[in-house]
């Protein structure tokens, strides 16, 4: 079952990278945690870097789907992104943003992992811009960049402070940016 081994590798790597960092976790640890052999690893991934990229691509899809689902559950308004973040910050397994963490760890803007992380942020910005456009806000792209700046700041602050308050504070700033309007 090659596909099953690949999924076990991705699951183990995602959990370990998020909890401990990409550089801190070696291939041997991933193999041990996943129960997959070295030969099988190399059938699926040419290198650890390729595994990192695959983990990030999968996490991007899952995280954006989660965000859209939670925003819709809260009412589908742009400010609801902050309510979704507050919910995430309350989780015992919250370790910040896997994509911010990746960019900080790799720092090489030309690396594939960095590019995937940056693309994730672009997709999140596009999603927020669409929410803003649906509510009739002018310049939704510019507003979305401001929202994502607030979101990223809230994520980092929540990690540091271990509280949901940064999401609430970022929401208040975003509401002020929007004015009274359409939320």
Residue carrying structure tokens 């965000």: 67
Query: Does residue 2 register a pLDDT over 50?
Result: no
pLDDT-based confidence at 182, cuts 50/70/90?
A: very low
- Contact criterion met (CB below 8 Å) for 62 and 27: no
In this structure, the number of other CB atoms found within 10 A of the CB of residue 3 comes to 8
Residue carrying structure tokens 């995602």: 14
- Long-range CB contact pairs, 5-12, < 8 A, 24+: 5/34, 5/36, 5/40, 5/43, 5/44, 6/44, 8/34, 8/35, 8/36, 9/34, 9/36, 9/40, 9/41, 9/44, 9/45, 9/51, 10/51, 10/54, 10/55, 10/58, 12/36
Query: Does residue 1 register a pLDDT over 90?
Result: no
The larger pLDDT score, comparing residue 3 to residue 74, is at 74
DSSP 46: S
Q: d(Cα 60, Cα 73) in Å, to the nearest integer?
A: 20
pLDDT-based confidence at 165, cuts 50/70/90?
A: very high
Handedness of CA 93, 94, 95, 101 (dihedral sign): positive
Q: Which helix (H) or strand (E) holds 58?
A: helix 48-74
Segment 128-155 mean pLDDT: 97
Segment 149-167 mean pLDDT: 97
Q: What is the pLDDT of residues 86-105, one digit of tens each?
A: 999 999 999 999 999 999 99
Segment 142-162 mean pLDDT: 97
Determine what percent of the chain is predicted with pLDDT higher than 90. Answer: 95
Those residues with Cβ within 8 angstroms of residue 41's Cβ, 6 or more apart along the chain or in another chain: 9, 27, 30, 31, 51
Q: For position 179, what pLDDT does the model report?
A: 86
Q: What is the pLDDT of residues 24-52, one digit of tens each?
A: 999 999 999 999 999 999 999 999 999 99
What is the pTM (predicted TM-score) of this model? 0.92
Segment 115-141 mean pLDDT: 97
Q: For position 96, what pLDDT does the model report?
A: 96
Q: d(Cα 123, Cα 115) in Å, to the nearest integer?
A: 12
Q: d(Cα 8, Cα 131) in Å, to the nearest integer?
A: 35
Segment 121-131 mean pLDDT: 98
Q: For position 180, what pLDDT does the model report?
A: 54
């Amino acid at each position: 079952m090659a596909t099953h081994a690949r999924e076990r590798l991705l699951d183990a790597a995602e959990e370990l990278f998020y909890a401990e960092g990409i550089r801190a976790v070696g291939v041997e640890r991933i193999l041990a945690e996943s129960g997959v052999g070295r030969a099988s690893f190399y059938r699926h991934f040419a290198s650890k870097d390729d595994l990192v990229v695959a983990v990030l691509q999968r996490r991007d899809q899952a995280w954006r789907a989660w965000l859209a689902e939670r925003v819709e559950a809260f009412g589908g308004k742009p400010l609801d992104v902050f309510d979704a973040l507050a919910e995430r910050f309350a989780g015992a397994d919250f370790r910040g943003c896997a994509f911010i963490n990746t960019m900080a760890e790799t720092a090489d803007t030309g690396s594939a992992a960095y590019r995937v992380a940056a693309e994730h942020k672009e997709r999140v910005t596009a999603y927020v811009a669409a929410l803003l456009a649906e509510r009739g806000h002018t310049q939704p792209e510019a507003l979305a960049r401001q929202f994502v700046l607030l979101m990223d700041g809230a994520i980092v602050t929540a990690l540091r402070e271990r509280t949901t308050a940064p999401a609430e504070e970022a929401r208040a700033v975003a509401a002020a940016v929007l004015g009274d309007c359409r939320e």
